[in-house]
Amino acid sequence: MTKMLGAVQAGSERWKAAFNAGDAAACAACYEPEALMVAKPFGEFVGREAIEAFWRTLIADGYTNIEYLEPTVTVIDETSAVLQAGWKMNKAEGVITRELWVLQDSGEALLREDHFEARGA
């Protein structure tokens, strides 16, 4: 369980660093190839290519400086965990209702599902 918690924390930090560096491809690399992202009010995005395009547009529109507020990680089993948190950035804020992180054979955790809501824009 501790291994899963560490993998989720490392994956989450990797994603935030990529976003704040303006690197949409590195953001998308934090997702499994067929991942599902539900971004309210923007829509649903399936697969790394669609997810990367979403992040690329957001970054191009000047969004940056993401911070997670009071994140909690619930370990489901030895290979999966769910992260929930509030979040804020320079031009919006919102809530992460479900980031499902899954441990890969490589030992790193990747997002299988990402459900969040944005408020303000």
d(CA 110, CA 102): 5
- What is the per-residue pLDDT for 2? 83
SS3 readout for the chain: CHHHHHHHHHHHHHHHHHHHCCCHHHHHCCEEEEEEEEEECCEEEECHHHHHHHHHHHHHCCCCCCEEEEEEEEEEECCEEEEEEEEECCCCEEEEEEEEEEECCCCCEEEEEEEEEEECC
Please check the confidence at residue 10 and state whether its pLDDT lies above 90. Answer: yes
Residue 92 CA neighbour count, 13 Å, CB half: 17
Q: Domain boundaries in the chain?
A: 2-119
**109-119 and 31-40 strand pairing:** parallel
pTM above threshold 0.75: yes
Could you report the per-residue pLDDT of 75-114, keeping only the tens digit for each? 999 999 999 999 999 999 999 999 999 999 999 999 999 9
Going by CATH, does the domain composed of 2-119 fall within 3.10.450.50? Answer: yes
Please check the confidence at residue 121 and state whether its pLDDT lies above 80. Answer: no
pLDDT confidence tier of residue 51, bands split at 50, 70 and 90: very high
